[in-house]
Amino acid sequence: MSESGNNDLWYVVRAQTKREHTSASYIRKELGLEVVAPQIRYTKVTRRGKVLWKEAMFPGYLFVKFDREEDEKAVCYAPGVLKLVRFGDNVPDIEEEFVLSLMDMVGDEEVLDLQHGVELGQEYEVAEGALKGNTGEVVEVLSGGQRALLLMEMIGGERVIEVDVFSLLLPSRPDLDN
């Protein structure tokens, strides 16, 4: 494949969802091209408890640097790749500064660790423990950000309860059908 020639530009490649990392690995190893397929890693709270989750930052997309004349077919026929992103007949290239800043943000591992946080005044549902299913408003985040005080209505009045922030479900999303 191309030896980092001066015709190499960054392009957005459409890949099968959940196979971005596999496609990137193939393009990197077998075709010898630069690829950026950033992922995010975060702790997701489910009804079963805390789970460390990793997924594509841009689901279904990767960034590949190559010479279109020499490498387009090889890239498009790589496992898991669907096509180059195009608008009509135009295949736009991506500014190198954008890709470099993205690479700086995610590091060599290509993973960005997201921190779970809660917002004051926001209402959350407790996902586990004796208070499972109850909702309350965050009135204070305790030092370290791992615990929070929730104002909950129970036993005939409002009570402040201390909980692990990872035991809280994120607030429900707004109804988009309206």
Work out the burial of residue 144: count CB atoms within 10 Å of its CB; fewer than 13 is exposed, 13-18 middle, 19 or more buried. exposed
Q: Which token pair is 119?
A: 């917002």
The share of the chain scoring above pLDDT 70, in percent, equals 87
State the CATH number of the domain containing residue 17: 3.30.70.940
Position 108 scores a pLDDT of: 87
Position 174 scores a pLDDT of: 47
Evaluate whether residue 65 is within a structural domain: yes
Contact 29, 68 (CB under 8 A): no
Confidence of residue 36 (pLDDT cuts 50, 70, 90): very high
Q: Are residues 87 and 151 in the same domain?
A: no
Confidence of residue 145 (pLDDT cuts 50, 70, 90): low
The gap between the terminal CA atoms of the chain, to the nearest Å, is: 51
In the listed set 66, 91, 113, which residue is the last one of a domain according to the structure? Answer: 113
Q: Are residues 50 and 107 in the same domain?
A: yes
Domain interval for residue 64: 9-113
Q: Are residues 107 and 127 in the same domain?
A: no
Evaluate whether residue 175 is within a structural domain: no
Q: Are residues 82 and 162 in the same domain?
A: no
Q: Are residues 15 and 100 in the same domain?
A: yes
Is the confidence at residue 56, as pLDDT, over 60? yes
> pTM for the whole thing?
0.66
> Per residue, what are the HEC states of 33-68?
CEEECCEEEEEEEECCEEEEEEEECCCCEEEEEECH
Q: Are residues 16 and 100 in the same domain?
A: yes
Q: Domain count of the chain? A: 2
Q: What is the mean pLDDT of residues 64-70?
A: 96
Q: Are residues 151 and 100 in the same domain?
A: no
Confidence of residue 64 (pLDDT cuts 50, 70, 90): very high
The mean-pLDDT minimum among 21-30, 44-53, 109-118 falls in: 44-53
Q: Are residues 61 and 149 in the same domain?
A: no
Q: Are residues 18 and 65 in the same domain?
A: yes
Q: Are residues 59 and 96 in the same domain?
A: yes
Q: Are residues 108 and 141 in the same domain?
A: no
Give rounded-to-5 percent helix, strand, coil for the chain. Answer: 20, 40, 40
